[in-house]
């Protein structure tokens, strides 16, 4: 019976009670279902409408649902990129009083896609590399806060565009463990080995289905996460030794980490007994260095690479300005109102679900460079916008909510004649632009 439900929710939304919890998830009526692409999952997952927003509903055991619900809450407090928890629904029974599985409810991450939805025909090597690099960064961030994933794979993450790269978000924390004391080298190595094995299997599966560009080495792509992870982890944690008269190396190390997008909480330093050497080892807080600076200056909350790109444009705007302002916040306000916001407002309303505003602005900057190079002149922004909207943006699929046919395990995007014009990233095939 409906009154037997036990609901644990992060936010109060009475509409949760109106969903058909007495019906098995696979039989929910179409008026509740939102058709979106899904990754492969060991559990049945379907998307539904809740008060005008999209949620993901996963059937599982009550114990696992509550465990993952609390884990997602802990990861969110640690500022790790992951989906947001909504509720756990337990005590479900059908019309005959028979028990039904518990359900974990999470929010759908707008403008995010499972990796299989990021290409329409075949997966190109450069797209696969960008996906693996994004997953490597996510794994480093998770390990940095003491989270052991236990099932690292492309399928267990969602991806958002990030100024030519991708940003990965954890979507399945079912097997994860959070260790406050941090992870051992063995735990990190095992997680990395799982990642390599799973990614190789996922890429081979694409190859078997004819969805991998000919000649691509699946194992080589999978090996990429190992090298990317190790390189990044070493940059964040390795101890460095230098001569005592080379103190500038400390500043250099901080700037290197900032360039990678990380902030430092503290720097452990010690000198040798005779004072000839200095040993330093940084304690990294987390990624998001450029994100935090952009939020402070403009209030824009975007992905890390997008933030870096927008900050570069802001710095160029400040350098070109003839005004003498006392602080960078004033330049940032002028850039926001004279550069960023006019571009975003110029996008027709029916095209605004194509991409996030920050990604649109990044692509407009790239498009301006492309046109200027091709035409040998500085193309005015109004002309750039017209060209970008008509020649690029109109030919993209919507990424706020990509619609596709419902299936039990995975929905792929609808392939229309419009999408047939695009490459494997869903973009018009302008290799010099993207």
Cα distance between residue 249 and residue 241, in whole Å: 9
CA distances from 76 to 59, 286, 337, 418 (A): 22, 13, 31, 38
The answer to whether the CB of 163 falls within 8 A of the CB of 303 is yes
- Range(s) within the chain of domains with CATH label 3.30.200: 2-108
Domain boundaries 113-237, corresponding CATH code:
1.10.510.10
Domain boundaries 2-108, corresponding CATH code:
3.30.200
| Cα Rg of the chain, angstroms | 24
> Over the range 138-175, which residues count as b (16 or more CB within 10 Å of their CB) and which as e?
bbbbbbbbebbbbbbbbbbbbbbbbbebbbbbbbbbbb
Of 337, 331, 351, 342, the C-alpha closest to 393 is 351
- SS3 category, 275: coil
pLDDT score, position 2: 47
Residue 119 neighbours by CB distance under 10 Å: 23
**pLDDT per residue of the chain (434 residues) written in tens, 0 to 9:** 445 789 999 887 888 989 999 999 999 998 888 876 665 667 889 999 888 889 999 999 999 999 999 999 999 998 889 999 999 999 999 988 899 999 999 998 888 888 888 776 777 888 888 899 999 999 999 998 899 999 999 999 999 888 788 889 999 999 999 998 889 999 999 999 999 999 999 998 888 888 887 777 889 999 999 999 998 888 887 777 877 777 677 777 777 777 777 766 666 777 777 777 777 666 665 667 788 888 888 888 888 888 888 988 888 888 877 777 777 888 888 899 989 999 999 999 888 888 889 999 999 999 998 899 889 888 888 899 999 999 999 888 776 654 443 333 333 333 222 222 233 333 333 222 22
pLDDT score, position 420: 29
Instruction: Give the number of C-alpha atoms closer than 13 A to the C-alpha of residue 255, restricted to the C-beta side.
Output: 5
- Range(s) within the chain of domains with CATH label 1.10.510.10: 113-237
- Chain mean position to CA 55: 17
pLDDT score, position 207: 84
Cα distance between residue 281 and residue 419, in whole Å: 49
Which residues contact residue 304 at a Cβ distance below 8 angstroms, ignoring those fewer than 6 apart? 162, 167, 261, 287, 288, 289, 290, 291
Residue 272 neighbours by CB distance under 10 Å: 11
> Over the range 62-81, which residues count as b (16 or more CB within 10 Å of their CB) and which as e?
bebbbbbbebbeebeebebb
CA distances from 181 to 143, 147, 148 (A): 11, 10, 12
pLDDT score, position 263: 67
Residues forming a β-bridge with 422: 428
CA distances from 289 to 30, 90, 292, 308 (A): 43, 40, 5, 9
The answer to whether the CB of 169 falls within 8 A of the CB of 82 is yes
pTM score above 0.85 = no
pLDDT score, position 200: 93
Residue 36 neighbours by CB distance under 10 Å: 21
pLDDT score, position 405: 36
Cα distance between residue 395 and residue 391, in whole Å: 7
């Amino acid at each position: 019976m409906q009154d037997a439900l036990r609901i644990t929710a992060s936010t109060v939304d009475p509409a949760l009670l109106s969903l058909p919890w007495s019906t098995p998830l696979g039989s929910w009526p179409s008026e509740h279902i939102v058709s979106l692409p899904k990754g492969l999952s060991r559990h049945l997952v379907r998307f539904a409408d809740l008060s005008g927003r999209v949620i993901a509903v996963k059937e599982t055991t009550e114990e696992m649902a509550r465990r993952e619900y609390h884990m997602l809450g802990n990861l969110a407090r640690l500022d790790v990129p992951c989906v947001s928890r909504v509720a756990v629904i337990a005590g479900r029974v059908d019309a005959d009083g028979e028990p039904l599985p518990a359900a974990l409810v999470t929010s759908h991450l707008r403008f995010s896609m499972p990796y299989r939805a990021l290409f329409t025909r075949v997966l190109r090597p450069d797209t696969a590399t960008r996906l693996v690099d994004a997953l490597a960064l996510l794994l480093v961030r998770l390990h940095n806060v003491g989270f052991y994933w236990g099932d690292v794979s492309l399928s267990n993450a969602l991806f958002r565009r990030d100024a030519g790269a991708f940003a990965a978000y954890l979507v399945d924390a079912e097997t994860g463990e959070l260790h406050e004391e941090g992870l051992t080298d063995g735990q990190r190595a095992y997680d990395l080995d799982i990642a390599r094995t799973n990614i190789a299997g996922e890429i081979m599966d694409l190859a078997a289905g004819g969805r991998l560009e000919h000649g691509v080495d699946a194992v080589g792509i999978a090996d990429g996460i190992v090298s990317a992870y190790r390189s990044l982890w070493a940059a964040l944690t390795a101890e460095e030794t230098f001569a005592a008269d080379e103190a500038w190396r400390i500043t250099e190390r901080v700037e290197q980490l900032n360039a990678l997008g990380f902030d430092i909480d503290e720097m452990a330093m010690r000198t040798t007994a005779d004072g000839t050497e200095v040993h330093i080892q940084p304690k990294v807080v987390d990624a998001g260095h450029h994100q935090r600076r952009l939020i402070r200056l403009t209030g824009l909350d975007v992905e890390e690479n997008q933030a870096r790109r927008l900050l570069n444009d802001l710095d160029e705007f400040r350098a070109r300005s003839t005004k003498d302002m006392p602080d960078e916040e004033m330049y940032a306000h002028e850039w926001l109102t004279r550069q960023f916001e006019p571009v975003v407002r110029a996008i027709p309303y029916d095209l605004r679900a194509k991409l996030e505003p920050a990604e649109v602005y990044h692509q407009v900057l790239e498009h301006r460079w492309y046109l200027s190079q091709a035409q040998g002149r500085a193309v005015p922004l109004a002309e750039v916008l017209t060209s970008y909207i008509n020649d690029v943006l109109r030919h993209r699929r919507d990424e706020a909510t990509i619609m596709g046919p419902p299936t039990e395990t995975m929905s792929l995007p609808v392939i229309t004649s419009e999408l047939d014009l695009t490459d494997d990233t869903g973009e018009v095939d302008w290799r010099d632009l993207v």
